[in-house]
A = this chain, B = another copy of it.
Amino acid sequence: MDVVVEPGLGWMELNEYLKPYGLFFPLDPGPGASIGGMCGTRCSGSLAVRYGTMKDNVLAMKVVLANGDLIKTANRARKSSAGYDLTRLMIGSEGTLGVITEVTLKVQKIPEASVVAICSFPSIKDAADVAIATMHCGIQVSRVELLDEVMVKILNDANGTDFQVAPTLMFEFIGTDAYAHEQNLRVKKIAEEHQGSGFQYFDSPEDKETLWRMRKEALWACLAAAPHAEAMTTDVCVPLTRLADCITKSKEVLDASPLLCPIVSHAGDGNFHTIILFDPSNEEHTKEATRLNEFMVHTALAMNGTCTGEHGVGTGKLKYMEEELGYEALKTMKKLKHALDPNNIMNPGKIIPPHVCL
């Protein structure tokens, strides 16, 4: 139930390899992501609501540190209390603490059955409320994805489909065939109590694959919808109960903007993305994209959320780190960085804002 890989391997290639064994690796970020990069950003994706994020699915790593030491962060045991959690220290460190050379991943059994359901709602708040209610009910979803009407229209245009252009939830239920259908019926009931309409479910492999492929390729559909634009893809995450609030407030501002800003959300985790489409050669556009991103981040932080649920800090979100975590936490990070990389040779300038002192 584990596999040892090199960091350059893509998660999709890994899953091709694992398939004949009836196994899969349950993280699904953008197509093309590699295991090393996924460790670097502490990535997640639509399945995190069931299987957790990268931090929950890596057992061990080999890492080359700045001083040349090659360390093994842990053994293959599924759990351990033997010392500081070097594995988790490396995950999310964006290459600033070492170079990952090997990763041992937990793998999962491919569920024997799954049902995919979609449902439309009059407002994004209704859709978010249903995502929250579903999680509160203890229904075992493996995915709860929310798309706003802007995103649905873009997907329809890109795929020749005719889904109702309205805020939409896409669910996946897994387990045995009976159980997946049982959960599906429960969510249908919750959705109908919150003005849901057009509830449909799919259990044929082809239909399910088509739906998730559409969702997975959302970014490409957006770029096709705005051929001269670039995408500023931002993500925030808030406590689950604040999701409806946060997404509603953000959407009011996004809808009022001249820029096209579709929303896709891993709603079961309180996480959502906005793909802000803007022309980078147009100064007004760039300013507006930045303003929208800042608004979303500040809204999320005011709700005790995070400036990035799964994309990482890099340099783009450096400026929000102090507001989110406080100066002392950043100083602590700087101390850790300095202890392992005193000459600052590992991906310098990332994660820790430059004004933070030791």
Cβ A304 vs Cβ B75 within 8 A: yes
Instruction: Output the residue of A89, A271, A312 with the most chain B CB within 10 A.
Output: A89
Q: In the assembly, what is the distance between CA of A229 and CA of B222, in Å?
A: 70
Q: Which residues of B contact A71 (CB under 8 A)?
A: 325-326, 328-329, 332
**Segment at the B interface, from A51-59, A197-205, A285-293:** A51-59
Q: Which residue of chain B has the shortest Cβ distance to A110 in the bound complex?
A: B138
Asked whether, in the complex, the Cβ of B81 is within 8 Å of the Cβ of A312, the reply is yes
A250 at the binding interface (Cβ < 8 Å): no
CA distance A69 to B69 in the complex (A): 30
What's the number of copies of this chain in the assembled complex? 2
- Once the chains are docked, how many angstroms separate the CA of A281 from the CA of B268? 56
Identify which of B84, B308, B325 contacts A72 (C-beta below 8 A).
B325
Closest 8 CB pairs of A and B: A109-B138, A88-B88, A339-B339, A80-B306, A77-B237, A69-B328, A76-B304, A77-B306
Q: Taking the nearest CB of chain B, how far is it from the CB of A314, in angstroms?
A: 10
A140 at the interface (CB under 8 A from B): yes
A305: interface (CB < 8 Å) = yes
Residues of A near any B CB (own CB < 8 A): 1-2, 41-44, 48, 52-53, 55-56, 65, 69-86, 88-89, 91-93, 97, 108-112, 135-138, 140, 175-176, 178-179, 182, 237-241, 269-271, 300-301, 304-313, 317, 320-321, 324-326, 328-333, 335-340, 351-352
Closest CB in chain B relative to A267 CB, distance in Å = 11
Q: Assess the B77–A304 pair: CB atoms within 8 A.
A: yes
Task: Decide: A109 and B85 in contact? CB cutoff 8 A.
Answer: no
**Is the Cβ of B85 less than 8 Å from the Cβ of A308?**
no
Cross-chain contact B309 with A80 (CB below 8 angstroms): yes
How far is B52's CA from A52's CA once the two chains are assembled, in angstroms? 10
CB distance from A86 to the nearest CB of B (A): 6
Which B-chain residue is minimally distant from A239 (CB atoms)?
B76
Nearest CB of B to A178, in Å = 6
CB contact under 8 A between A305 and B85, given known A179-B176, A182-B176, A241-B1:
no
Within the complex, the shortest CB–CB distance from A320 to chain B, in Å, comes to: 8
Residues on the B chain within 8 Å of A77, using CB: 237-239, 270-271, 300, 304-306, 309
Min CB gap A236→B, angstroms: 8
| A352 contacts across to B, CB distance below 8 A | 83
Interface centre among A48, A97, A328 (most CB of B within 10 A): A328
Given A109-B138, A178-B179, 12 other A-B residues pairs in contact with their CB atoms under 8 A: A41-B81, A56-B56, A75-B325, A77-B300, A81-B306, A81-B308, A82-B320, A82-B325, A84-B92, A85-B91, A109-B137, A179-B182
A79 x B304 contact (CB < 8 A) = no
Within the complex, which residue of B175, B305, B329 is in contact with A86, where a contact is CB–CB below 8 Å? B329
Inter-chain contact B324/A82, CB cutoff 8 Å = yes
Q: Name the residue on B nearest A326 (C-beta).
A: B72
Contacts of A305 in B (CB 8 A): 75-77
Given B41, B138, B310, B338, which contacts A111 in the complex, CB threshold below 8 Å? B138
- Given the contacts A72-B326, A326-B71, A89 and B89 also touching, CB distance less than 8 Å: yes
A52 to chain B, nearest CB (A): 7
Which B residues are in CB contact (< 8 Å) with A351?
Answer: 83-84
Shortest CB-to-CB span from A153 to chain B, Å, is 28
Which of B1, B75, B86 has a CB less than 8 Å from the CB of A324? Answer: B75
